[in-house]
Amino acid sequence: MRRGPLSGLVVTAVAAALTVAGCSGGDSDSPKSSAPSAAAASDAATTSVDTTAPSAAANADDQSEAGAGSGGDLTAENFAERTATAMRDAKTAKISMTTTAAGQKISVEGAMKMTGSTPEATEKVTAAGKGFEIRMVDGLMYMNLGATSKNKWIKIDPSDTSNPLAVQFGSTAQSTDLAAQVDQLKKAITSVKKIGAPATVDGVKAQEYDLVVDTAKVTGEAKEQLDAAGSAVPDSFTYKYWVDDKDLVRKVSTSVAGSDVEMKFSDWGAPVEVKAPAESELLPGGLGALSSAAG
C-alpha cells in the first residue's frame, strides 16, 4: 500500500510532536528533518481537545528560583535519569511545539499524561493554516482530520499489522513512552554543558544546558528512525535544554538538517483528562477508508 501525502504529513507532525515530547532523555527522531508538504494538510478539525484547566496550586510553576536541582548540576551521567524521574513524578504537563522546515511551519498545542500502563496525550496540530487533532488513550490513537475524515475520528490500533499505516502511526504512538526514550538515548549522551545564568521560561526560572547526543549510540525505536533517514542523519545532535530547580524540563530547542524545533512544557502536575471519542464520532471503515482515499 502506497503512503499518500496526507499520511506523510501526519507521520511527520505527530512524530515531531510526540517523540520530542519524550524529551526526558532526548528527542533524536528523524522526522524532525523531514520537510512536510503544505498541500498535504487537512481542513481544520472541529472536535475540541479534552484538557482540563490547569490549577496553579496543583502544578510546579510556583517556583521563584532555578539552577541546579537538589542533586547539583546536571551532567552527562545523570541528565537522563534525573529529568525522567522528575517528569514521571509530575505525571502531567501542557506541551507547545513549533517546527520550521523548508520555510514551512508546524505548530502543536496539547497535553500529556504519564500514568497507567501507557502514556496518554492530546494534540492539536496546525500546518499551512490547516489543522487536525490527535488523542492517544488506552493504547490507541485517534485522529480527526476535519473534512478529510468527514469531521469524524479515525481509530488506529497499533497492533493491526495488516495495515502498514497502522504500523506507522503505532510506532509514533509508542514514542510517547518517556521511559523508553530515556533507555534509547541515555547511553548516547556524550556531554552536558551548563550555559550562563538561569533564564525565565514562561515565568519560571530554568537553567540552560547544551546536550550533545552521539547518533551512533542511540538504541531501540529511535535508532530505527535514524537508520531510516540514512545519510540525512549527522554524527551528533546538539540540543538546548532549559531545566528548573526540580529537574523538570521547561524548554527544548534544536536545529537539524535545516529544521528548527522548539518545545515548551508548562503546568507540570496540573490535571489532564484524555477521553476516547464516542462510537458515534468514529469514521466508518476507520484507517482503511482513509488509506483507500489517499491512494
Instruction: Identify which has the larger pLDDT, 52 or 41.
Output: 52
Quickly state the pLDDT bin for 37 (edges 50, 70, 90).
Answer: very low
Q: Does the pLDDT at position 15 exceed 50? A: no
The answer to whether residue 62 is domain-embedded is yes
The answer to whether residue 288 is domain-embedded is no
Which residue range forms the structural domain that includes residue 216?
5-278
pLDDT at site 55: 38
CB neighbours of residue 215 within 10 Å: 18
Instruction: Identify which has the larger pLDDT, 274 or 2.
Output: 274
pLDDT at site 272: 93
Q: Does the pLDDT at position 63 exceed 80? A: no
Amino acid, res. 202: D
The pLDDT tens digits of the residues spanning 99-142 come to: 888 788 989 899 988 877 778 889 898 988 888 899 989 888 89
On the CB side of 30, CA atoms within 13 Å amount to 18
Quickly state the pLDDT bin for 45 (edges 50, 70, 90).
Answer: very low
Quickly state the pLDDT bin for 199 (edges 50, 70, 90).
Answer: very high
Work out the mean pLDDT of the chain and round it to a whole number: 72
The answer to whether residue 283 is domain-embedded is no
The answer to whether residue 263 is domain-embedded is yes
165-169 average pLDDT score: 67
pLDDT at site 221: 64
Q: Does the pLDDT at position 58 exceed 50? A: no
Burial of 270 from C-beta contacts in 10 A (0-12 / 13-18 / 19+): buried
Report residue 144 as a C-alpha cell.
480527526
Quickly state the pLDDT bin for 38 (edges 50, 70, 90).
Answer: very low
pLDDT at site 26: 37
Q: Does the pLDDT at position 24 exceed 70? A: no
Instruction: Identify which has the larger pLDDT, 163 or 108.
Output: 108
pLDDT at site 186: 79
The answer to whether residue 144 is domain-embedded is yes
Q: Worst-scoring range by mean pLDDT, 83-87, 105-109, 128-132, 286-290?
A: 286-290
Strands (E), 102-188: 104-113, 120-127, 130-137, 140-144, 153-156
pLDDT at site 10: 38
Q: Does the pLDDT at position 207 exceed 70? A: yes
29-41 average pLDDT score: 30
Pick from 249, 121, 253: nearest CA to 175: 121
The answer to whether residue 191 is domain-embedded is yes
Q: How far apart are CA 125 and CA 109, in angstroms?
A: 7
Q: Does the pLDDT at position 50 exceed 70? A: no
- The count of domains in the chain is 1
The answer to whether residue 294 is domain-embedded is no
Question: Which residues sit opposite 265 in a β-bridge?
Answer: 95
175-197 average pLDDT score: 76
pLDDT at site 231: 63
pLDDT at site 61: 44
Q: Does the pLDDT at position 187 exceed 50? A: yes
The answer to whether residue 286 is domain-embedded is no
What CATH number does residue 232 fall under? Answer: 2.50.20.20
pLDDT at site 243: 94
Q: Does the pLDDT at position 20 exceed 50? A: no
